[in-house]
Amino acid sequence: MKIRCPLCGREIDPADRACRSGCPMSKGCTLVCCPGCGYSFPMPESKVVNFVKGLFRKGSRE
């Protein structure tokens, strides 16, 4: 599965999503850094993760 950069539209391989080595937040970071334009954006979550999160949200869905 490829990730598309929302700024430049470049397709990014999830294995190559690491930020620059000098970033203090690089360990445990969920941001994707586009190698083309340098834009950082949150890693999109899978449909399964969103479904499970929806089951445990506070409040009712009435």
Q: What is the pLDDT of residues 48-62, one digit of tens each?
A: 766 777 787 765 455
Residue 40 in any domain: the answer is: yes
Residue 47 in any domain: the answer is: yes
How many independent structural domains does the chain possess? 1
Predicted TM-score (pTM) of the model is 0.56
Each residue's pLDDT tens digit, 2-34: 888 899 999 988 776 666 666 666 666 777 888
Residue 16 in any domain: the answer is: yes
Residue 46 in any domain: the answer is: yes
Please, what's the largest Cα pairwise distance for the chain?
48
Residue 62 in any domain: the answer is: no
Residue 61 in any domain: the answer is: no
Q: Which residue range is the domain that position 41 belongs to? A: 3-20+29-55
pLDDT, greater one: 59 or 40: 40
Torsion of CA 30, 61, 51, 44, to 10 degrees: -30
- The token pair at 14 is 């999830």
Phi and psi at residue 4, to the nearest 5°: -105, 130
Point out which residues pair with 12 in neighbouring strands: 3
